[in-house]
């Protein structure tokens, strides 16, 4: 190289403005320049590989396709070398001396504003190479084209000019040498570069060697055909991407060409760490474009209720350097999110049919997330209904059944799906709400978690069948054809006469004024004397329990509408009708206790001191009566 052959040129005006923006802006993610330069190197290697397929290249045919990175923590330099397609002198000047844009004022305003918000946008605006000046005071580029023409060297300090000189003795490809700024010396350290490569460029399809050691040893297996990948490879990749030590519960690997080009490999872990009180999990799926990381632990490509999933999604249709802010509003990302979510819901449905026992285990571990989806995500609410599982009066203890299975067993004339909440199966089965369901052989879901009523009320209906809580008012159950006429006649004979029942209901309503909206004769109590029912079709007793437990005001004092239903055939209610005539005050105490017992059976809070005091008064009367 001689001085005569060296030529100094000024940057194009637009390029100077870009350099000023890049060099003088403050970035929160300075590491990004390494990713940009490695991505450029990978592109150069890919271009050469394609060119070599089109026309066999003889020049430096023996040189392996790879990226080499050398760090010098003494001289404070960082060197990135690729054996890709290289550049001619003209290409060097065109690619590094000018910006292929109109250079409009609007373009620079957008660039300046964008890089303040997200450094990822450097690449999106076509200025990825210039990110090197974020960390370097001087950048030297040595390159030689695959066509075997003379190599050249490009040098600049980013201050307005650059020099191009012949550079003999180069191999094919490009070498970038950065003399690091004083506050960027850490990029001359091997462990810093290895960390950045492992974060952003692990799956670049060419070896990346840092000081001779290959750093990206994990293959991007999501791009390969499923029948080429072994179970061991799948499991090892899961351990890497999920930071896990065990094997996954489920795995979904699929590709799609429309409406977007997608390669996805996602896993369901075996454990739900939120169950262990370890706090809310961060999303576990990373977004790639052509094997280059765009968004780690992305919050945009899956709904929040799928945050338990681990894996990768790669779409070459996305801009390689789309910003994190743009991800939130980008139409392609929204389309990608919809495809992924629907495909995963379909996958879970298929797995539930294929292996019901395994799906039961999934449900016990991750069912809470599906419930969260039903309550929070209107777009997928109906689809998620198929995935719900609950115990029922027709299932064995611990066995969960689907809404579809319930529908298949519905009685003739039954138009609704019924459920009742309780703290345990035994508590539900002992409650007055299921008595008539048992008698008439009508299946009822047992919802044993506080959130379950919220879930089913948000779902509203399933396959055009309304979901109804058994503690709702005005439930009319289809009669059992096997129920004999004698049984019905016996119920009528045992019951209080209509006029006495009407008078008793009116008196109880007056006695419980402000506590219940109405008192009615029940058509569904069999053994229990009374029960509380909800007039408000949305607010169930279990919802009120949740509100009470969370410290909110008692819904009963907030105008929540309640009715008391009494069993006109109950011995206690019949005795109460007589007692009202002979001892009104004591009958009032009994009514208060019946009401309190009904609240307890509904799982609602009561004043324990008042309950105990009344119990003692009733016991004293009972003992005195027996003397």
pLDDT over threshold 60, residue 488: no
Residue, of 85 and 624, whose pLDDT is higher: 85
Considering the chain, what percentage of its residues have pLDDT values greater than 90?
52
End-to-end CA distance of the chain: 123
Nearest CA to 204 among 128, 291, 265?
291
Encoding tokens for residue 165? 């000189």
Cα torsion angle, 25, 31, 37, 39, sign:
negative
Assess whether the region 221-355 and the region 485-626 belong to the same CATH fold. Answer: no
Q: Kindly state the average pLDDT of the residues 394-398.
A: 93
| Mean pLDDT, the chain, integer | 85
Among the ranges given (328-332, 341-345, 391-395), the one the predictor scored with the smallest mean pLDDT: 328-332
| Domain 485-626, architecture per CATH | Up-down Bundle (1.20)
Q: Express each pLDDT in 229-272 by its tens digit.
A: 999 999 989 988 888 888 999 999 999 987 889 999 999 999 88
pLDDT for the residue numbered 490? 52
Confidence of residue 374 (pLDDT cuts 50, 70, 90): very high
Q: DSSP letters of 283-306?
A: PEEEEEETTEEEETT-SSSS-GGG
Q: Express each pLDDT in 431-483 by its tens digit.
A: 999 999 999 999 999 999 888 989 999 999 999 999 999 988 878 888 765 55
**CATH 3.40.50.11260 is held by the domain 361-469:** yes
Rounded (10°) angle between helices 584-601 and 571-582:
150
Encoding tokens for residue 209? 């060697």
Q: Express each pLDDT in 260-308 by its tens digit.
A: 899 999 999 998 888 777 678 889 999 988 888 888 888 889 999 999 9
pLDDT over threshold 60, residue 627: no
Q: Express each pLDDT in 493-531 by its tens digit.
A: 577 888 999 999 999 999 999 889 999 999 889 999 999
The answer to whether the CB of 185 falls within 8 A of the CB of 202 is no
pLDDT for the residue numbered 263? 94
The answer to whether the CB of 234 falls within 8 A of the CB of 310 is no
Q: Kindly state the average pLDDT of the residues 183-208.
A: 92
Residue, of 359 and 288, whose pLDDT is higher: 359
pLDDT for the residue numbered 568? 92
Q: Indicate the burial class of 618 (C-beta count within 10 angstroms; 0-12, 13-18, 19 or more).
A: middle
Nearest CA to 432 among 606, 603, 608?
603
Q: Kindly state the average pLDDT of the residues 97-118.
A: 58
Domain extents for the chain?
7-214, 221-355, 361-469, 485-626
d(CA 583, CA 609): 24
3-class secondary-structure state, position 122: helix
**CATH 3.20.20.150 is held by the domain 221-355:** no
Nearest CA to 68 among 81, 78, 57?
81
pLDDT for the residue numbered 623? 87
- pTM of the model as a whole: 0.73
| Domain 7-214, architecture per CATH | 2-Layer Sandwich (3.30)
Range 556-560, long-range pairs (CB < 8 A, 24+ positions): 556/515, 556/604, 560/534, 560/536
Q: Express each pLDDT in 16-64 by its tens digit.
A: 777 777 666 544 578 888 988 998 898 899 889 888 888 888 899 899 9
Q: Rounded to 5, what percent of the chain is helix, strand, coil? A: 45, 20, 35
Quote the strand ranges of 444-516, DSSP E: 445-447, 461-462, 465-469
Dmax of the chain from CA atoms?
A: 128
Q: Kindly state the average pLDDT of the residues 591-618.
A: 87
Distances from the Cα of 338 to the Cα of 113, 333, 348, 380, angstroms: 30, 9, 16, 9
**Vertex 463: Cα angle to 461 and 464 (nearest 5):** 60
- Neighbouring C-beta atoms of residue 127, cutoff 10 Å: 21
Q: Kindly state the average pLDDT of the residues 68-90.
A: 96
Q: Indicate the burial class of 591 (C-beta count within 10 angstroms; 0-12, 13-18, 19 or more).
A: buried
pLDDT over threshold 80, residue 409: yes
pLDDT for the residue numbered 100? 46
pLDDT for the residue numbered 456? 94
């Amino acid at each position: 190289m001689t001085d005569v052959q060296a030529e100094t040129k000024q940057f194009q005006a637009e390029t100077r403005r870009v350099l000023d923006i890049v060099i003088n802006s403050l970035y929160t993610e300075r590491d990004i320049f390494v990713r940009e330069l490695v991505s450029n190197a990978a592109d150069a290697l890919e271009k050469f590989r394609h060119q070599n397929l089109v026309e066999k290249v003889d020049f430096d045919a023996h040189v392996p396709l790879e990226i080499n990175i050398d760090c010098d923590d003494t001289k404070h330099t960082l060197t990135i070398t690729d054996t890709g397609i290289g550049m001619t002198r003209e290409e060097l000047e065109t690619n590094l001396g000018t910006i292929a844009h109109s250079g409009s004022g609007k373009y620079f305003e957008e660039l300046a504003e964008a890089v303040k918000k997200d450094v990822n946008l450097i690449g999106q605006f076509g200025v990825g190479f210039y990110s090197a000046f974020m960390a370097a005071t001087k950048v030297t580029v040595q390159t030689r084209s695959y066509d075997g023409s003379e190599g050249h060297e490009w040098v600049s300090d980013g201050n307005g000019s650059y020099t191009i000189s012949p550079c003999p003795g180069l191999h094919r490809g490009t070498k970038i040498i950065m003399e690091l700024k004083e506050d960027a010396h850490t990029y001359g350290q091997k462990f810093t570069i290895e960390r950045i490569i492992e974060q952003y460029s692990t799956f670049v399809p060419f070896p990346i060697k840092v000081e001779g050691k290959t750093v990206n040893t994990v293959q991007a297996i999501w791009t390969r055909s499923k029948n080429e990948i072994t179970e061991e490879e799948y499991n090892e990749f899961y351990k890497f991407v999920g930071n896990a030590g065990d094997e996954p519960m489920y795995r979904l690997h699929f590709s799609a060409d429309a409406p977007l080009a997608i390669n996805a490999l996602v896993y369901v872990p075996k454990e739900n760490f939120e169950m262990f009180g370890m706090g809310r999990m961060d999303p576990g799926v990373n977004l790639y474009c052509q094997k280059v990381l765009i968004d780690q632990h992305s919050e945009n490509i899956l709904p929040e209720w799928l945050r338990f999933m681990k894996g990768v999604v790669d779409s070459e249709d996305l801009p390689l350097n789309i910003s994190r802010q743009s991800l939130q509003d980008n139409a392609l990302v929204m389309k990608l999110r919809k495809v992924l979510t629907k495909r995963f819901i379909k996958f879970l449905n298929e797995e539930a049919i294929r292996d019901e026992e395994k799906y039961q285990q999934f449900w016990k571990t991750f069912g809470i997330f599906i419930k969260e989806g039903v309550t929070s995500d209107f777009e997928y609410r109906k689809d998620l209904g198929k995935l719900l599982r609950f115990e029922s009066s027709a299932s064995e203890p611990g066995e969960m059944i689907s809404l579809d299975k319930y529908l298949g067993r519905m009685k003739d004339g039954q138009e609704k799906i019924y459920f009742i909440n309780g703290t345990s199966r035994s508590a539900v089965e002992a409650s007055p709400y299921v008595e008539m369901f048992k008698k008439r052989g009508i299946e009822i879901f047992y919802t044993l978690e506080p959130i379950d009523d919220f879930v089913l009320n948000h779902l509203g209906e399933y396959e055009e069948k309304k979901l109804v809580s058994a503690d709702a008012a005005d439930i009319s159950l289809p009669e059992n054809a096997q129920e004999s006429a004698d049984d019905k006649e016996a119920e009528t004979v045992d019951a209080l006469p209509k006029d006495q029942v009407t008078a008793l209901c009116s008196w109880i309503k007056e006695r419980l004024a402000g506590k219940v909206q109405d008192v009615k004769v029940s058509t569904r109590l069999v053994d229990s004397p009374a029960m509380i029912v909800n007039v408000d079709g949305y607010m169930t007793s279990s919802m009120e329990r949740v509100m009470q437990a969370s410290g909110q005001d008692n819904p009963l004092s907030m105008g929540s509408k309640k009715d008391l239903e009494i069993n006109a055939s109950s011995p206690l209610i019949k005795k109460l009708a007589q007692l009202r005539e002979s001892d009104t005050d004591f009958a009032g105490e009994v009514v208060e206790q019946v009401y309190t017992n009904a609240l307890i059976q509904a799982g609602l809070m009561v004043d324990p001191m008042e309950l105990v005091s009344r119990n003692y008064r009733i016991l004293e009367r009972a003992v005195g009566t027996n003397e």
